[in-house]
Amino acid sequence: MKCFLRHRNALSLPARVLALVIFAFAAAAAPAGAQTTTSPTLYRLEAGSSFSRGCYGPCQCPIFTTKDIRGTYTLALDHVYPLFTCYRV
């Protein structure tokens, strides 16, 4: 017969699972952080960058791709709505 010692303050397995589930739901419910600064951020498109536009998935419409685009642009936070965030390009 084997004897296992357990600390007096240790949580049982069901309590641990419950705590993990509560933590997972709390983490999932926390809002994701967006760009918090109002100052513009500079982005650079390096050689080999591409842009695609069209339908993806089961649609039959074509996908147009522009390859090897280069340049820079700035992205600045404009305003925030409950469901989406707008940026100035």
Rounded to two decimals, the pTM is: 0.43
User: Measuring CA to CA, how many Å separate 12 from each of 18, 22, 56?
Assistant: 10, 15, 48
Interatomic CA distance for residues 56 and 53, integer angstroms: 9
pLDDT of 4 strictly over 80: no
What DSSP string describes 56-76? -SS--S-EEEEEEEEEEEEEE
Q: What is the pLDDT of residue 8?
A: 55
Interatomic CA distance for residues 85 and 38, integer angstroms: 12
Interatomic CA distance for residues 20 and 11, integer angstroms: 12
Averaged pLDDT, 50-77: 85
